[in-house]
Structure formats: C-alpha cells, structure tokens
C-alpha cells in the first residue's frame, strides 16, 4: 500500500531539508527526533497549523510562497503571545504536482524566511498523498517564565488595539481570484499579502510587556476579538470607522457605494495576521512610542467593558453581523 | 475559498478535543498556543509524523484505531530515544467521510491511549480537506539532560538487540488486505497489530540507561539497522535465523517453502514499532533482567563491527536484499 514517492523521502530530506536544520538541535534531520535543551526561566510556547491546497492556498500559488505562508501564519500565532520563535517541525504531504522543482521552490521559500525570522528546522517527516498537497508546521518559541500573553486577561476599561492594516487578507483572496477591479499595482500588493503575509513579529516585545490579552487576526477581526472577549469574560466595543486600511484597501473602499457593508467585509474576512490586543490606558503612550520607533501603525479601535461579546459600531450604532468570521474549516 | 466544515472547527474542538486537553499547559484549547514550562535538567524530545488515508491507513480502518496508531507510531519514536512522552499537538484534516460519529470515534481512541500512555493534548488545529483524511501529530517528551539516545553511538564490539517480534507489521498489512491464509485467530492478532501497534514504551528506561545507539523499527528491521549503522559509522552483522517471530508470524513462516525468502519479507516489511538498539556486551545480563522483569522478549541478533552497512546472514552466508526497506513515501 505505500505510495511511491518519485523524489524519495530520504533524498528529499537530505537534499532539501538537511541544509535548513537547526545546527545543534535538529540532529542533521538524521534521527527521528529533535532534542531541545531546557531554558530555565523560560516557557516553551507551541503552535501547530496545517494548510491544504484548494482550502488555504491555491493550486496556482508558487510553492515557495506556500512554504513562507505556512511559516508566517504560525509566526503570527507566537508573536501575538509575545513569544520569540526559534524552530519548527514540518510535515510535507506532497501531491502529484510536487516534483523536484516544486520541492526545491518550497525549500527555498523556507530558507529565505528562516533567515528573515531567525528560526531553523528541527525535524518532521515527508509523505506523499493521493489528494491535494498538505503541509503541517509546529512552531516553537520562548517567553520568559509566565509571560506568554493569553486571550484571557482583558479588563473593563482597557483599550483595544490592532497593529497594521485590516482587510488585506480578504481583499488578497479576492485579488488572487481576479475579483477586484483595482489597478495593477494595488492588485499586486494584495496578492503579495495573500501569498506572503507579514507576521507582526516586530511588535511582540511591546505586546508581551503591555498587552493584558492578545490574539492574532486570522479568523477575522470581529471573530478574533470575540474569542478574546469570551476568554476574558468581558465585552469589546469598537468603532468600525476606525478600522485601519492599507493604501490598496482604502482605494477599494472608496469605490464602494455602501461604506458600512464594505467595512463589514474587511473586518470579517480574516487572514490579516495582525495582532489585536488590549492594554491599560496608562500604557498607551508607551505603546505608541514603541510603534513609532518601528514605523508600525497602531490603531486604538475601542474599549473593553463589562458584559460579553463584541459590539462594532458604525455611525455610533451597533452593527449586527451575519457571520462572525471566516472559518478555516 | 474556505471549505465548509459540516461539524464546525470550534464545535469539534470544544466537544471532542477540549476534554483531552492537558490540564495545565493546553489552555483548554482556547488559545492558539500551548505553553510548557521549562524542566531544568531535562531535554525536550520532539517527533512529528503524518498519516494519510490510503497510504498509511486504510479507508476501512475504524477512526478510533487510526487515532491510536497515529499516537503510537510517535510514542515508538520517543521510546527508542529513551524519552518519556507527556503531551502532543494534533492536526486533523477531516475528509468527507468524517462526520460526527467518525470524529467521536477518533477522539475516543485518543482518550483511551492518553490514559494508557500518560500523555495529554496540548493544541493543534482542525481543517477539512477535499482529499483523503490526513492526520499529523507532534509528540513531546523529556529525557534527563543529554540522555536522549541517538542513532550514532554504536561501537564495534557492541551487541545488536531488538525488542518483541519482527514481521507482524508486514503480515498485518497482508492480513488486513485478506492476503494471508492463516486461521481467524492469527489473522485477528495481525490485523490488531496493524491497526494498533504497541510501542515499546515499557523498555525506554533500560534503553536510555544502556543502549549505545537506538532506533524504532518502522521502515523495516534491515533498513532501520542501516540508518543506525550509517549514523554510527559502523557495520552491523546479524543472523536472520534469530529473527524473533510472534505466534502468528511463526505459523505463517512454517507454511513457507523458502524460509530465507520468508524471513526477508519479515525483516524488510516495516511497521513493527519495536526498538532496535546496540549495547556493550557487559550490559547484556542487566538488559535481560530488565526484559524479564517486564515479561518482554529481547533478542540478540548479532554484533557491531568496523566497516559500513548491514550484513544479514542466512545459514552463515550473507543475504543480498533487493530493497533495503519499506519507504513511507
């Protein structure tokens, strides 16, 4: 019953992945395990995400960007927790379209991002699948002991912040499916965001130091704030008109006849990979300084109150959402 | 583009997986991450394996046994390194056949094995896939600092051991495909081994204390001893006629006209999930005592010598293998 792998499991590991191995802990990918020494005074923070062709990426997406997206969506999870990533385990389920050139592209994408984000490969496995290509990644990072930011610490009175821009995730998916009528440069920026989102690792230290609760925006801003509110047993009240838009999103938004409906799309679309977090108002000046130092946009969207759920307002009035967010199946 | 999950990602996690969560470190599966405190003086040992329907398990296999097999093949990897597993991250790629009853069966299988093997769920994700069901598991364990057994420490003069029985993995695959003519009881035992192999976690402490090199037998005894020999830069010389056979394998073996060819099948078939290891001859009495105490079969197959590769003998003569082992593609 074993499926035949034309490229070979061992040869794939030796040629493509061994050069990516962590120099000390990956055992050259020649063992079944990775061995990571304890880091006393630190906690190990772990996350695991899987992406499937046709569900989380398109069959036409180049495999170097698929690899980068896989790594980056996991980096985004750790960044929102204030954890610094150091390594990952990878499972590749190669489909029929994954010959040597595609696998090489995949490894090249990883090599670029390993360098950019300071992580290295620790282990994993490769299999072939008769179905769509499927990749799973377990990312590991450290925080000082007890300092991983949870979803559950928001307090009434806290402010609600989000890094960067919201909506490029949803618009990127539209763009990659040729569903937008923007100019070529805007479309290219959105496609780039869809294929290679930029996790907000730059801001993880301020988040660790000052956020009372935090989550990365992957399901959609409203849905993810809902997760945070629920875990913190509080309500979140935000103003939709404050939603920070990129240049491309702003251009798209200005072409809409119904601005409220347009904003609703952007805040429920997901795949933004920004950090949504809450913080005590006394920390706002320090958060703004940290954001400015990094040339990073930081937007206060509203406030935490007693109660439950997310209230998003447009023109001061609460908006009812049909769907609370993108569900990755 | 998101695939619709009839059962729902959040509902699946809440109903089926939250009860399996590690009480302290899994955050109730309500966060994107797990947080594991450092254990000073210990190393963290990690492994990750993926299984695909139609490749690593059969579409007719019950999903509770699929879940157990997934956990057990990873437990086998850690046991061979002398590492005690404590937790795992899981990615489920549900296919169309995975409705609530199948998912419940999957979670029940995990629940049983969590209890049997002392591990708990730390996190992960669930997605749906238009292809075959695909599951990936990252297993974590501890060894005292520097004590994870590698593949690379075998020395000329060491003895070569294997736990339990060899060949039930290959025979189990034959049995599950109705390709054996054994009696029903034997077939049932082999099918059970195929679906629910028993990792040799019982023997991990003696392996940690006395093995100079170790590997779990998943690719096939010959192939895995080849990996060990290669990593240790030594040769391994074994006697095929010493291969330990289960009752079912012995019954099958006795029906063969060519005993050498039959043994070759069994030692290259893979999926045995026993531990093959090397040890200094002075430790043999202690290893035997530890095996006896556990009612565990322990077989000395041969010896480590200077040189390279695996020499397997039958009737004293070296046997040439066409294939060095099962490749999981």
Determine, for residues B47 and A33 on separate chains, whether the beta-carbon distance falls below 8 Å.
yes
- Scan for tokens 């960067």, then name that residue: A164
Average pLDDT over residues A285-291: 98
Could you tell me if B84 and B176 lie in one domain? Answer: no
The answer to whether B176 contacts chain A (CB < 8 Å) is: no
Considering the domain architecture, whether residues A229 and A140 belong to the same structural domain is answered as: no
- Alpha-carbon distance of A138 to B266, in angstroms, equals 34
Per the CB < 8 Å rule, is B125 touching A328?
Answer: yes
What secondary structure does DSSP assign to A156-186, as a single string? TT-EEEEES-SSHHHHHHHHHTT-----HHH
Q: Is residue B152 part of a domain?
A: no
Which of B144, B173, B200 is the C-terminal boundary of a domain?
Answer: B144
CATH number, domain of B114, equals 3.30.1330.10
Q: For chain A, give the mean pLDDT.
A: 93
Whether the CB of A38 is below 8 Å from some CB of chain B: the reply is yes
Considering the domain architecture, whether residues B136 and B227 belong to the same structural domain is answered as no
Average pLDDT over residues A60-70: 96
Give yes or no: residues B301 and B186 share one domain.
Answer: yes
- A329, part of any domain: no
Average pLDDT, integer, range A287-315:
97
Q: What is the pLDDT of residues A116-149, one digit of tens each?
A: 999 999 999 999 999 999 999 999 999 999 999 9
User: What local confidence, expressed as pLDDT, does residue B26 receive?
Assistant: 87
Domain of A265: which CATH number? 3.90.650.10
Clarify whether residues B104 and B193 are in a common domain: no
Residue A28 placed within a domain? yes
Is B164 found in the same domain as B140?
no
Interchain contact, B48 vs A151, CB within 8 Å: no
Mean pLDDT for B265-271 is: 94
Put simply, whether A60 touches B (Cβ < 8 Å) is no
Check whether B279 has a pLDDT greater than 50. Answer: yes
**B82 lies in the same domain as B218:** no
Residue B189, pLDDT score: 95
- B24 vs B297, more confident: B297
Q: What was the pLDDT predicted at B28?
A: 82
In A, minimum Cα distance to B53 occurs at A129
Whether B3 shows a pLDDT value over 70: the answer reads no
Residues A300 and A179 in one domain: yes
Q: Does the structure show a pLDDT above 70 at B17? A: yes
Task: Give the confidence band of B48 by pLDDT, cuts at 50, 70, 90.
Answer: very high
Report the percent of chain B where pLDDT is more than 70.
Answer: 95
- Order of strands across the sheet that contains B134-144: A34-37, B42-52, B134-144, B84-94, B120-128
CB-closest option in A38, A83, A177 to B39: A38
Q: Which residue has the higher pLDDT, A247 or B326?
A: A247
pLDDT score at A27: 83
What's the rounded mean pLDDT across residues B163-172?
Answer: 97
User: Mean pLDDT for chain B?
Assistant: 93
Q: Do B50 and A173 touch (CB under 8 A)?
A: no
Reported as a pLDDT band with limits 50, 70 and 90, residue B322 is: low
Task: Output the pLDDT for position B27.
Answer: 84
Residue A89: CB atoms within 10 Å? 26
Tell me what pLDDT residue A5 has: 66
Q: Which chain A residues are Cβ-neighbours of B38 within 8 angstroms?
A: 38-44, 145
pLDDT, mean of residues B233-247:
97
* B202 is an annotated ligand-binding site residue: no
| Residue A315 C-alpha, separation from nearest chain B C-alpha, in angstroms | 31
Residue A326 covered by a domain: no
The pair of structure tokens assigned to B86 is: 């404590």
B218 is in an annotated binding site: yes
Beta bridge partner(s), residue B239: B313
Taking contacts as CB-CB distances below 8 angstroms, the residues of chain A near B51 are: 127
- Nearest-neighbour CA in chain A from B3: distance (Å): 6
The answer to whether position B325 is within a domain reads no
Q: Is B128 on the interface with A (CB under 8 A)?
A: yes
Look at chain B and report how many structural domains it folds into: 2
Considering only CB atoms, which chain A residues are within 8 Å of B90?
Answer: 48
Cβ of B1 within 8 Å of Cβ of A177? The answer is yes
Q: How confident is the model at residue B2 (pLDDT cuts 50, 70, 90)?
A: very low
Question: Is B124 known as a binding-site position?
Answer: yes
Residues B129 and B207 in one domain: no
Question: What is the pLDDT at residue B94?
Answer: 95
Q: What does the alpha-carbon distance between residue B151 and residue B281 come to, in Å, rounded to a whole number?
A: 18
Range of the domain at B287: 159-319
Beta strands in chain B (DSSP E): 34-37, 42-52, 84-94, 120-128, 134-144, 159-163, 211-216, 235-239, 275-279, 298-305, 309-314, 317-319
CA-CA distance, A239 to B179, in Å (whole number)? 66
CA distance A147 to A207: 10
Looking at the fold, whether A122 and A184 belong to one and the same domain comes out as no
CB contact under 8 A, B9 and A177: no
Q: Do A35 and B45 touch (CB under 8 A)?
A: yes
Q: Does residue A1 belong to any structural domain of this protein?
A: no
Domain boundary among B121, B144, B167: B144
The stretch B128-152 carries a mean pLDDT of 96
* pLDDT of the residue at A99: 92
Interface of A with B in 191-230 (CB under 8 A): 215-216, 227
Which of A144, A171, A205 marks a domain boundary? A144
Question: Is the Cβ pair A227, B41 closer than 8 Å?
Answer: no
The reply to whether residue B9 touches residue A329, judged by beta carbons under 8 angstroms, is yes
Which chain A residues contact residue B173 at CB under 8 A? 1
Annotated binding site of A: 32, 47, 49, 56, 77, 124-125, 151, 216, 218-219, 271, 326
User: Which pLDDT score, from 0 to 100, does residue A28 have?
Assistant: 82
CA A103 to CA A109: how far, in whole Å?
10
- Structure-token match 């290959």, residue found: B170
pLDDT band at residue A6 using 50, 70 and 90 as cut-offs: low
Q: Please state, in angstroms and rounded to a whole number, the distance separating the CA atoms of residues B104 and B96.
A: 15
- pLDDT over 60 (residue B317): yes
Residues A266 and A312 in one domain: yes
Is A17 inside a domain boundary? yes
Report CB contact under 8 Å: B130, A131. Answer: yes
Contact of B101 with chain A, judged by CB distance below 8 Å, is answered with no
- Number of A to B CB contacts under 8 A, please give it: 247
Q: What is the mean pLDDT of residues A78-92?
A: 97
Cβ distance B55 to A4 less than 8 Å, yes or no, reads no
CB atoms closer than 10 angstroms to residue B267: 29
Tell me whether residue A254 is in a domain: yes
**Residue B238 near chain A (CB below 8 Å):** no
Q: Which residues of B touch A80 (CB under 8 A)?
A: 32
The arithmetic mean of pLDDT across residues B14-43, rounded, is 90
Residue B102 reports pLDDT greater than 60? yes
Q: Which residue of B has its CA nearest to A74?
A: B32
Tokens linked to A32: 């079944």
Position B327 scores a pLDDT of 37
Q: Which residues of A define the annotated binding site for substrate?
A: 56, 271, 326
Q: pLDDT class for A180, splitting at 50, 70, 90?
A: confident
**In what order do the strands lie in the sheet containing A42-52?**
A120-128, A84-94, A134-144, A42-52, B34-37
What pLDDT digit, counting tens, does each position of A205-261 carry? 999 999 999 999 999 999 999 999 999 999 999 999 999 999 999 999 999 999 999
Residues of B within 8 A of A132 (CB-CB) are 129-131
Residues 6+ apart with CB under 8 A from B112: B64, B68
Answer whether A123 touches B (CB < 8 Å).
Answer: yes
Residues in chain B within 8 Å Cβ distance of A137: none
**Dist CA B7 CA B73 (whole Å):** 27
- Of A31-40, A41-50, A105-114, A229-238, the poorest mean pLDDT is in A31-40
Structure confidence at residue A119 (pLDDT)? 96
**Same domain as A212, residue A311:** yes
Contacts of A125 in chain B (CB under 8 A): 48-50, 328
Instruction: Residue A4: list chain B partners with CB under 8 A.
Output: 329
């Amino acid at each position: 019953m074993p499926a035949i792998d034309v490229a070979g499991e061992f040869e794939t590991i030796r040629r493509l992945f061994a050069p990516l191995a962590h120099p000390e802990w990956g055992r050259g990918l020649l063992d079944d395990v990775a061995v990571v020494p304890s880091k006393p005074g630190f906690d190990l923070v772990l996350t695991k995400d899987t992406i499937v062709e046709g569900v989380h990426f398109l069959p036409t997406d180049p495999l170097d960007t698929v690899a980068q997206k896989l790594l980056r969506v996991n980096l985004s999870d750790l960044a929102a927790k204030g954890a610094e990533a150091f390594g990952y385990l990878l499972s590749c389920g190669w489909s029929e379209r994954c010959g040597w050139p595609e696998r090489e592209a995949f490894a090249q994408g990883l090599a670029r991002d390993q360098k950019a984000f300071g992580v290295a490969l620790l282990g994993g496995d490769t299999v072939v699948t008769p179905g769509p290509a499927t990749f799973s990644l377990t990312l590991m990072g450290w925080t000082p002991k007890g300092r991983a930011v949870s979803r559950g610490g928001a307090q009434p009175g806290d402010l609600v912040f989000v890094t960067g821009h919201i909506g490029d995730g949803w618009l990127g998916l539209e763009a990659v499916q040729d569903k937008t009528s923007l100019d070529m440069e805007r479309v290219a920026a959105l496609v780039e965001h869809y294929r290679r989102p930029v996790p907000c690792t730059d801001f993880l230290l301020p988040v660790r130091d000052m956020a009372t609760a935090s989550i990365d925006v992957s399901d959609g801003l409203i849905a993810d704030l809902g997760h945070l509110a629920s875990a913190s047993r509080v309500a979140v009240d935000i103003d939709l008109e404050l939603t920070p838009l990129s240049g491309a999103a702003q251009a798209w938004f200005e072409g809409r006849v119904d601005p409220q409906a347009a904003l609703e799309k952007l805040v429920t679309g997901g795949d933004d990979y920004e950090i949504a977090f809450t913080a005590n108002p006394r920390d706002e000046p320090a958060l703004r300084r940290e954001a400015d130092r990094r040339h990073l946009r930081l937007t206060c969207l509203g406030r935490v109150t007693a109660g439950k759920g997310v209230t998003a307002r447009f023109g001061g009035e609460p908006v009812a959402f049909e769907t609370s967010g993108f569900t990755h199946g």
